[in-house]
Amino acid sequence: MASVPRSFLLLSIIPTILILCADFACCNTGRKTGDGLDTDFSGFSVPLEHSFEVDDVSRFRMRGALQLRGGRETSVSLSQSQLSEEDRKTLKEVAAVDGLYKIRVPRVSLTDRQTERQMDGYLTAFVRACSLVESHLSDVITLHTDVSGYLIGVSIVTIPGACRGTEVEDEVDLEAFNTTLTIIAPTNAPQPETALFIERMDIEHEKRGKPQEQKSFFAKYWMYIVPLVLFLMMSGAQDQSGGGAANGGGR
């Protein structure tokens, strides 16, 4: 077994580690509105809204627009504007009272070509406002789809994610979002690896060499049988020939 090359081992382990099939897409952080992208025949745009209030009552406002492109290779990009002076102030206030920063996107289907692409309702996620402030607005937004391409969930985390209470003095740090946007489709769970197992067993069998042929009973035990037969024959012969000799006086 030790002779199995190392590379083979690696190959066999990698498929069991599920790599999240994530399509990364870059995002625009500038003031570009992305009007040109709207004309893309296969893509469409949905609003990304956010809400951060001191009294924790959700009041969603536009944060940017998500450019979604469905089909075989789903991709997504985000165009968003900078935070206004007032927003920055509110965000810092919300962070100070440990409020929440919430985002939402409408429920849409990426593959459905029909007009009913959009369903009622939103998908919502949140992050603590203080961690958003302390990470200087660097957030990771992930969109999750199901097997048929419906958006089912959104999540937002900041990196780093902790609230250490460090003061963010520089207002410039809170101007533009530094967003990483990912879209994740479900992974296919593995099936039992029967084919590989059988293959491996075959290899093992071959390596061990052909199993010894089934020898016949006689072939296996001739070394016991022959002396036994010989002994019997000898003793029988002695009986017949030696009978008279014994009678005759023996030794």
Residues near other proteins (CB under 8 A) are 1-2, 4, 8-9, 12-13, 16-18, 20, 56-58, 98, 100, 102, 104, 107, 119, 121-128, 131, 140, 142, 144, 146-148, 150, 152-153, 155, 157-163, 184-194, 196-197, 200, 204, 208
Compare residues 51 and 79 and give the one whose CB is closer to other proteins: 51
Instruction: Measure the CA–CA gap between 45 and 28, rounded to whole angstroms.
Output: 14
Shortest Å, Cβ 118 to other proteins: 12
Shortest Å, Cβ 247 to other proteins: 46
Which pair of structure tokens corresponds to residue 88? 């920055």
Say which amino acid occupies 50: H
Question: Is residue 124 classed exposed, middle or buried when 0-12, 13-18 and 19+ CB atoms within 10 A define those classes?
Answer: middle
Which pair of structure tokens corresponds to residue 184? 């994740």
Q: How many CB atoms lie within 10 A of CB 192?
A: 7
Q: Which whole-number Å values give the CA distances from 218 to 214, 227, 234, in the listed order?
A: 11, 13, 20
Compare residues 13 and 223 and give the one whose CB is closer to other proteins: 13
Shortest Å, Cβ 185 to other proteins: 8
Shortest Å, Cβ 79 to other proteins: 24
Q: Determine contact, residues 135/160, Cβ cutoff 8 Å.
A: yes
Compare residues 37 and 157 and give the one whose CB is closer to other proteins: 157
Compare residues 12 and 235 and give the one whose CB is closer to other proteins: 12
Shortest Å, Cβ 20 to other proteins: 7
Instruction: Measure the CA–CA gap between 73 and 59, rounded to whole angstroms.
Output: 34
